[in-house]
């Protein structure tokens, strides 16, 4: 387990694009499913133009990858990626994103990283408090889901 404060550096090592997708797949996670969930959650939370706002889905995916980095364990090769991901989302839904995050991370580090993510995503143009709150909520949902997906019972 690595501290959340070390996660941004680790994600830079992992890379982006195809490297990030391969890294997720190597951990027994289905990148397409992660991106689909990000889009669905952004849409469900009221972002009717989620498809036109890649920053919203990026906030979930960034959070998810941060959560995976914290545990970055060897995958359970016998697990079905879709079932594992569904179980992670169910755990977050049952307990709440803040409770799952608090189990694994220093909340001060979470606040620092989510502020950086929100600033990076919201600096692309005019933003309002509602959009910024949505970006933070999606990041937290992603973080909690990534933590739950990589936590072994």
Q: What is the mean pLDDT of each run of 10 residues along the chain (153 residues)?
A: 78 87 87 89 69 74 90 68 87 94 88 86 70 88 92 69
CA dist 23 and 13 (Å) reads: 11
Instruction: Look at the alpha carbons of 152, 31, 74, 64 in this order and tell me if their dihedral is positive or negative.
Output: negative
Q: pLDDT value at position 58?
A: 86
3-class SS string, the chain: CCCHHHHHHHHHHHCCCHHHHHHHHHCCCCHHHHHHHHHHHHHHCCCCCHHHCHHHHHHHHHHHHHHHHHHCCCCCCCCCHHHHHHHHHHHHHHHCHHHHHHHHCCHHHHHHHHHHHHHHHHCCCCCCHHHHHHHHHHHHHHHHHHHHHHCCC
> What is the tally of structural domains in the chain?
1
**pTM to 2 decimal places:** 0.87
Q: pLDDT value at position 28?
A: 83
Q: pLDDT value at position 121?
A: 81
CA dist 71 and 77 (Å) reads: 16
Q: pLDDT value at position 91?
A: 92
- Which residues span the domain enclosing 23? 4-150
Cα distances (angstroms) measured from residue 82 to each of 7, 108, 128, 137:
25, 31, 35, 23
Token pair for residue 77? 């090769």
Q: pLDDT value at position 76?
A: 64
């Amino acid at each position: 387990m690595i501290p959340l404060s070390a996660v941004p550096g680790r994600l830079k090592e992992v890379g982006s694009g195809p490297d990030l997708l391969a890294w997720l797949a190597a951990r027994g996670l289905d990148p397409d499913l992660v991106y689909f969930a990000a889009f669905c959650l952004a849409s469900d939370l009221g972002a009717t133009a989620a498809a036109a706002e890649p920053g919203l889905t990026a906030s979930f995916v960034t959070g998810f990858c941060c959560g995976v980095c914290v545990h970055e364990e060897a995958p359970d090769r016998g697990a079905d990626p879709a079932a594992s991901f569904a179980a992670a989302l169910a755990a977050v839904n049952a307990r709440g994103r803040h409770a799952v995050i608090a189990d694994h991370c220093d909340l001060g580090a979470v606040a620092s990283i989510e502020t950086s993510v929100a600033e990076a995503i919201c600096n692309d143009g005019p933003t309002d408090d509602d959009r910024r709150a949505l970006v933070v909520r999606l990041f937290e949902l992603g973080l909690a889901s990534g933590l739950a997906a990589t936590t072994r019972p």
